[in-house]
Amino acid sequence: MGHEVKGSIKEATGKLTGDRSKQLEGNVEKNVGKVERSVGQAQDDLRSSERDSRR
């Protein structure tokens, strides 16, 4: 979640200041955070499925 929040802040700052580079950097960081969150959720789901199949 940290990358998503930091990225959103950078993106908004870039928009406000007209700094396209900062805006794009924030967008990339935000999306990295989303991917990290999705991968983490998939790992959690896999572990949960493995536990359930052992029962």
Q: What is the pLDDT of residues 5-38, one digit of tens each?
A: 999 999 999 999 999 999 999 999 999 999 999 9
Residue reference for tokens 């991917």: 35
Check residue 22 and give its pLDDT.
98
Check residue 53 and give its pLDDT.
87
52 band by pLDDT with thresholds 50, 70 and 90: confident
- Per-domain residue ranges for the chain? 2-54
Mean pLDDT computed over every residue of the chain: 95
pLDDT at 54 over 90: no
Check: CB of residue 44 under 8 Å from CB of residue 12.
Answer: no
